[in-house]
Chains A and B, each alone.
Chain A
Amino acid sequence: MNLRLTNKQINIIEKANPFLIVSTIVAFTFGLYFSLLQSPPDYIQGDSMRIMYIHVPSAWFALMAYTILAGSSVLWFITRNPIFSIIARSIAQIGMIFTLISLVTGSIWGKPTWGVWWVWDARLTSMLLLFFLYLAYIFLWQSITNKDLASKISAALAIVGFVNIPIIKFSVDWWNTLHQPATISKLSSPSIDISMMVPLFIMTLATFLFLVTVFFIRLRIEILDNKILRIREVK
């Protein structure tokens, strides 16, 4: 199985790690300072609103990771280049963890805000479905021993499951949900103050750097697995 990755590309993935780890730690330090100390409490929700600074980036990257998962699955079907299957597998576990974080932190935020830990409204339910889609993807890949078949079935699941992404995004507009509608992604006029936008931006950057760090580590694991497999095949 030829990965069609140049040595230069593999080198960049290997060398980037220490730089990424340090940048992630620095960004989180600044992010925590701004989100816990510098930003003011919300005039309605008080300090509980600070959960937003970890909840929102996690939810964004949970959706972004699934988009990459589905996109690389489509590219794998078209090109059959194993690198797309590797990208999909590398991002799946990260996406699952961010979905779990967004569900748990959302639930903790929900209790003081709505008075309940959980409601079966459209946004929360579709996010839970996303978690199960990630879980099913990982389970399918691991449980099918014929890896060619596993690639096909898991990629098909990832593509079919993509229908859930616009449902999550627009659920707050299409249905009457307890979850609040978009406040930041309305590019024309975001309804969030700059004092809250700054910590959110830094925490989003930190979370993104973390995601890239772990993604590169996972890519290296998959590349090494591939090397080990090839050596054993030759033997």
Chain B
Amino acid sequence: MNELISMGGYAPFIWSAYGFFFIAIITLFITNFLRLKKREEVLNKINNNRD
């Protein structure tokens, strides 16, 4: 376990690179997912108003 964390002395580089990668892709996913939900809400509202 210690080996995994220390990464042969390269821990700051490896963990910051992997951290950036996952923060970036998760943010990309969440922002777009929320945008989609917002659009669906708007469309539902418009459809309800028409009925």
Contact = CB atoms under 8 A, between A and B. Distances in A.
Interface of A: 36-37, 41, 46-48, 50-51, 54-55, 58, 93-94, 97, 100-101, 104-105, 108-109, 111-112, 210, 213-214, 217-218, 220-221, 224-225, 227-228, 231-232
A159 B36 CA distance: 28
B13 A111 contact: yes
Contacts of B29: 210, 213-214, 217
Interface of B: 4, 7-10, 13-14, 16-18, 20-21, 24-25, 28-29, 32-33, 35-36, 39-40, 42-43, 46, 50
A135 B32 CA distance: 17
A97 B25 contact: yes
Given A105-B21, A214-B29, A50 B7 contact: yes
A100 B33 CA distance: 20
Contacts of A51: 13-14, 17-18
A228 B41 CA distance: 11
Contacts of A105: 17, 20-21
Nearest to A28: B22
A48 B11 CA distance: 8
A231 B4 CA distance: 55
15 contacts: A36-B18, A47-B10, A48-B13, A51-B14, A51-B18, A55-B17, A94-B28, A100-B24, A101-B25, A105-B17, A108-B17, A214-B28, A224-B39, A231-B46, A231-B50
Contacts of A224: 36, 39-40, 42-43
A16 to B, nearest CB: 14
B21 A228 contact: no
Contacts of A55: 17
Contact of B21 (A48, A101, A111, A112): A101
A225 B43 CA distance: 9
Given A94-B28, A221-B35, A224-B40, A37 B20 contact: no
Nearest to A52: B17
Contacts of A47: 7-10, 14
